[in-house]
Chains A and B, each alone.
Chain A
Amino acid sequence: MRHCYFDHNATTPLSPEALETLSVCLAEVYGNASSIHHFGQAAKQRLEQARRQVAALLHARPPEIVFVSGGTEADNLALLGVARPCAGKHVITTTIEHPAVLQACAQIEQEGGRVTYVPVGASGVVDPAAVADALRPETVLISVMHVNNELGTAQPIEQIGRLARQAGVLLHADGVQAAGKLETDVERLGVDLYSVSAHKLNGPKGVGALYVRKGTPLRRQMHGGRHERERRAGTENVPGAAALGRVCEWFQQHGAEEAARVAALRDRLEQGILRRVPAVTVNGDRARRTPNTTNLCFAGIEGEAMVIALDLRGFAVSSGAACSSGSVEPSHVLTAIGLRREQARSSLRFSLGRGNTVEQVDALIEAVAEAAAHLRRLSVEAPTHA
């Protein structure tokens, strides 16, 4: 059976460019970028080229880019690096953030800091006024994701950036789901910190970057050597960073065109499903979304059963956020935007990317219609189940 991938917000396939860069660097650029000799210099050159490429995508300056191990580390470094020592400090975030941000916030609270979690309405878009209302004299940081991973909704970072600047508060945006998909200009957005992950951009797992605006006070969270301008210790992952740089360059060159192509596919998928399957609703604001994501609620259908039914038909999608094994606690994002538990459990996320085609989308619509009809027929046949 042919398997088609519609779960690009979980991770993406490695692009040919990234694979080439990775394998060349792994094979040839093995020096330690801190070494003085020829081999070290070659690694350093490659690392700095990557830094320029990442900076270019974000409209930042190369020294403002810190390479880290991925989105989670970038978020942890941003939040803990600003808030520590936490006693007496206040941080504002939202209820729909990624666990990397929410758990870092929990740690800040553990260490004596205070955190306000601004609620988000049914649109899945935070209201900047609510963020402004949460400001206190002791607020040091606002952290709001640029694009939500489950809904794809884009947050009003520019407006929040303006109010943060007025209040003299730093702004971090988790840009893991936004970079490459939306125009990402750290100046226009007004962010001081911005997280990026390679594997959401057809790069490898295990590498990411944090943009740190020049002059931003940030304590390092990984202790050791003086790498990354003393902001992140550890021998640099040159192949990973190079691959991240390479995919950033690809998105800088082709991102707009690819976003338009993927948006057309996403709209075709969404409209096709809405036309073919009764009682389906779109979660979150349809107008303010990243181009690749749609989150749909199939009334009366268990999302878990639907994911399995689609997988057996050769289509990979997800319900809620990806988990190792265990809980089907309904997604905190979907309940945060006001869905009831059963609605949240009936929701599926379709996230598209570079490999998807019109033919795949049309086949997926067919499979969704079939699976939904099958599952709904079962629940009609067995109405007496307690």
Chain B
Amino acid sequence: MPDRPIAVAMSGGVDSSTVAALLVRQGQRVVGLTMQLWNQRRLPQLQTGESSGRCCSLDDVYDARWVAGQLGIPYYVVNFEADFEEQVVRPFVSEYLSGRTPIPCTLCNNFIKFDRFLEMADSVGAEKVATGHYARIRFDQVSGRYQLLRGVDTAKDQTYFLWGLTQPQLARTLFPLGELKKSEVRRLAAELGIPIADKPDSQEICFVPNGDYAAFLDAYLAEQGVARDAATGEIVDRSGAVLGTHQGVHHFTVGQRRGLGIARGEPLYVIATEPARQRVVVGRGEELLRPSLVAGQVNWASWPPLTRPERAQVQIRNKHVAAWATLHPTEDPTRVQVAFDEPQRAVTPGQAAVFYVGDLVAGGGWIEA
């Protein structure tokens, strides 16, 4: 098919709207698609009346449709709610209940945005897809591989959530905003006449209102008719001495300081959660330090698989400053041992360890317990 269209994932926000506008201005044929992922009217007990900054609201669809209309491109809403619940929400809930702190955005990228969405692109006859992510992709002639790089705007860089992309996915994906700063994107949006150039950025996890995971978990489990055991338990120190009680381990995450309800001379932090025993283990700040971690289900986005130890900067949280470490291959090719040069605070099971060399995203994996 000559002149195949580019499928643009349009969320109704400034970034993806600007992507669509940029591609149209370049003379590309563009088809706009909005993924309906979650019904925001579900779990009415979580409704606060304040819906801005949450994806998949009818307002966002309205905005995306408006932009598509302004651009004169074909536009459709595609419904992936069932896949999203299966691939993102359920794993999120079960991870949390297992005492880990999951990142649904990575699952969504791996299984929805760069998988189901690519299938939908196929069905509209599109070879390439474009999204508003702040990241860059280039083809490296030497290695013959596509490479994923941090976005130029380091404050907006989203590669911490994109390490799961595979070579076939990178080959078909365009990130037109990767070379731009957010301020430039807003200016461009205004210049392109995108009517929502002033819309605030979306925040937090799209299906969790106000970032309140515990309330979401409770509401979701109630909707599913899953009876929860009494979730209360003890807060203990490393020696097992009981310091207090809590209302459920899913209210706590490693490194958390607030909400413990324990008065002590020195600040206390959560250093581990033990869902099987319904215990939250707390300790002093230095007890959070870990010299190493094991990353599982590793994906090598840009590098070929590891055959010998390699140096890399490893980022273990979205806002963490990547720290130098040596990556050691293990007998299991999907697992990598990460030995930090300096011990790192709050290595949290369920979060990702992403391996960088400068801007290059070598790969990443899930931090194991």
Interface, chain A (partner B; CB < 8 A):
302, 304-305, 308-309, 311-312, 324-328, 374-375, 378, 382, 385-386
Contact = CB atoms under 8 A, between A and B. Distances in A.
A305 B120 contact: yes
Given A325-B58, A327-B39, A375 B123 contact: yes
Nearest to B31: A312
A324 B65 CA distance: 12
Contact of B124 (A312, A326, A327, A382): A312
B198 interface: no
A304 B115 contact: no
A386 B79 CA distance: 17
A382 B124 CA distance: 16
B58 A308 contact: no
B76 interface: yes
Nearest to B126: A312
A326 B39 contact: yes
Interface string B35-66: 01001000000000000000000100100000
Contacts of A324: 58
A200 B357 CA distance: 63
B76 A308 contact: yes
B74 interface: yes
B118 to A, nearest CB: 9
B115 A325 contact: no
Nearest to B5: A312
A312 B74 contact: yes
A327 B123 CA distance: 20
A311 B74 contact: yes
Contacts of B81: 327-328
Contacts of A378: 119, 122-123
12 contacts: A304-B79, A308-B78, A308-B124, A309-B124, A324-B58, A325-B77, A326-B58, A327-B39, A327-B81, A328-B81, A378-B123, A386-B111
B123 A385 contact: no
A304 B78 contact: yes
A311 B75 CA distance: 10
A6 B76 CA distance: 18
B119 A325 contact: no
Nearest to A377: B122
B74 A305 contact: no
Interface residues of B, number: 20
B36 A382 contact: no
Contacts of A302: 123
Given A302-B123, A385-B115, 19 more contacts: A308-B78, A312-B31, A312-B124, A324-B58, A325-B58, A325-B61, A326-B36, A326-B58, A326-B77, A328-B79, A328-B81, A328-B82, A374-B123, A374-B125, A375-B123, A378-B119, A378-B122, A378-B123, A386-B111
A372 to B, nearest CB: 11
Nearest to B61: A325
A325 B12 CA distance: 14
A304 B79 CA distance: 9
Given A305-B120, A311-B74, A382-B119, A326 B125 contact: no
A386 B76 CA distance: 24
Contacts of A326: 36, 39, 58, 77, 79
A60 B169 CA distance: 64
Interface in B109-163: 111, 115, 119-120, 122-125
Contacts of B125: 309, 312, 374
A369 to B, nearest CB: 15
Contacts of A327: 39, 79, 81
A15 B39 CA distance: 38
- Give the most central of B58, B115, B119, B120: most A CB within 10 Å: B119
Contacts of B78: 304, 308
Nearest to B87: A386
Contacts of B31: 312
B124 A325 contact: no
A325 B33 CA distance: 12
Nearest to A378: B122
Q: Which of B61, B111, B119, B123 neighbours the largest number of chain A CB atoms within 10 Å of its CB?
A: B123
A279 to B, nearest CB: 17
A301 to B, nearest CB: 9
A180 B122 CA distance: 41
A328 B35 CA distance: 12
Contacts of B120: 305
Contacts of B36: 325-326
A308 B123 contact: yes
Contacts of A305: 120, 123-124
Contacts of A374: 123, 125
Nearest to B41: A326
Contacts of B58: 324-326
Contacts of A311: 74, 76
Given A312-B74, A326-B39, A385 B79 contact: no
A366 to B, nearest CB: 15
Contacts of B61: 325
B82 to A, nearest CB: 8
Contacts of B76: 308, 311
Identify which of A302, A309, A312, A375 gathers the most chain B CB atoms within 10 Å of its CB: A312
Contacts of B82: 328
B39 A385 contact: no
Contacts of B124: 305, 308-309, 312
